[in-house]
Each structure stands twice: as C-alpha cells, then as structure tokens.
Amino acid sequence: MNPMLHVNEISSGYGKITILRDINFQVKENEVVAIIGSNGAGKTTLLKTISNLIPATTGKILFQGKDIVKFPPHMITQLGIAHIPEGGKLFANMTVYENLLMGTYNHRKNFQKSVLEEIYQIFPVLKKREKQLAKTLSGGEKQMLSIGRGLASQPKFIMLDEPSQGIAPKLVDDIYNKLSILKEKGLTILLIEQNINYALHLAERAYVLENGKIVMDGSSEELLNSEHIKKHYLGL
Ligand code: ATP
C-alpha cells in the first residue's frame, strides 16, 4: 500500500541558509509516526515545509500519491492535512467556540454539529469553556483547543508540533492521553517532539533528526533500546 505521506529528498531553509538536507520519510494510513530531535534540529522547519509555509528547494512531498510540494498552504489544508503549530497560535481575543469555528474550511457559522460534538467528547473542558476567551485558558487547555481547532477541519492527517512544549508535566500526560484517543480512532498522525519518552510511547515508529538530517529510524521500541538514543537523548 502506498504511504499516505511520502517526503522524498526534501531540502529547505531560510533565504540562503539550508536547514533541512535530503529528508526522506513516510507515514502510512492509520500510523502514528514521530520525528524526534533536540533544539534547533529543524523539526519545526520540516512541518512548515510540508505545509509550504517555507518552500522546499528540492524534492517531492507526495500526499495520497499527489505531489503537493508547490501547493499553497490553504490547498494543503483542503486536502485534509491539519498543521497544529508549536504554541497553538490561537486567536487570543476570540472565544473557544469561535476558535473552533476558525478551524473549519470556510468559517461556516453552523459547522456540522456532529464534528463539534466529537471534539467536545474528546475534550470536555472545551465545552465547559466554550464562551471563554482563548487568552484566559490555561496552557494545557490552550494546547487542547489548538488540537480541537485542527480537528474542526475534519483532517485525514494531523501534524503536531511539540504538543508538550511549555506545558506543566502533569498536563503533558493529559495531552498525550487525548492523543492516544485520536490514535485509537485511527487518525494518521505525524508528531514532532523533543520529549522523546512521550513521543516514543505514543508513536509506532520514529525518525531521528539531527542538524537537518535524518540520522536514524526504527520502531519506537528499537529506538528506546538504542545506545545512541539512551546516551544522547535520555541521559542514561
Ligand atoms: P525547537 O525544538 O527549538 O523548536 P526545531 O528542531 O523545531 O527546534 P527549527 O525551529 O526548525 O528547529 O530551527 C532549525 C534551525 O533553523 C535553527 O538553527 C534556527 O535557528 C533556524 N531558523 C528557524 N527559523 C528561522 C528563520 N525564520 N530564519 C533563519 N533561521 C531560522
């Protein structure tokens, strides 16, 4: 079976500075795949390149067999890819409900009730805070809202940029419990994380990004047992 996402020889960067070099990886339908790496490895740059917020300088990005490398970001969303950025990037002065509405394609006033109900079922706290301004939410609630907003577009594939970033450790558990619900529902997920323990316990497989290159890949179990990961990432 063809992968849902096939990143093929992608390079990108900022102006004349190349950050990512010849990146290759695949995500199959219903899989949860993590890209792990430390600060500045290029993880955020990679997601931005897939969303074409940063143009790729070489390579192809096949989504369900179609090369999307030159598609504008809104078309990429319309194909069913939801990009949940680092820190959520919410509309601070809008309510929780209005933020969810912004996640639909065309900001429909009455987006399908069933979609909203499903989001509220996964994140009951969002229903409780429906009328509250996004800026008044706690860090963990903001992260849940940004994931909920991504789900409002009814994606086939979600890309999450460091969902544990800036969140108290206890709340990181909550966020990851929610992500495992999405996994059980069969959503295909690409997860970018610095927090390797969390990432490798959720994902089935992972790729290790160092200085803009993929240096290792394997099942989460293989990586958790690898000497390189233990030494450089887990401090064991
Ligand atoms: P973190 O976990 O700290 O977010 P990351 O792995 O996501 O790190 P990126 O944010 O992709 O890393 O950054 C990769 C490299 O690109 C870094 O060296 C960073 O300084 C550089 N970089 C990021 N944004 C820009 C920019 N707008 N202009 C120039 N260089 C940038």
Can you give the pLDDT at residue 111? 63
Poorest-confidence range of 16-20, 109-113, 181-185? 109-113
Can you give the pLDDT at residue 67? 96
Can you give the pLDDT at residue 171? 87
Q: Are 50 and 60 in contact (CB under 8 A)?
A: no
Distance 125 CA to ligand 1 centre (A): 32
Q: Nearest residue CA, atom 28 of ligand 1?
A: 14
Distance 43 CA to ligand 1 centre (A): 8
pLDDT band at 82 (very low <50, low <70, confident <90, very high): very high
Its sign, for the CA torsion 67, 72, 75, 77, is: positive
Q: Nearest residue CA, atom 3 of ligand 1?
A: 39
pLDDT higher than 80, residue 91 = yes
Distance 197 CA to ligand 1 centre (A): 22
CA neighbor of 191 nearest in space, from 212, 165, 168 = 165
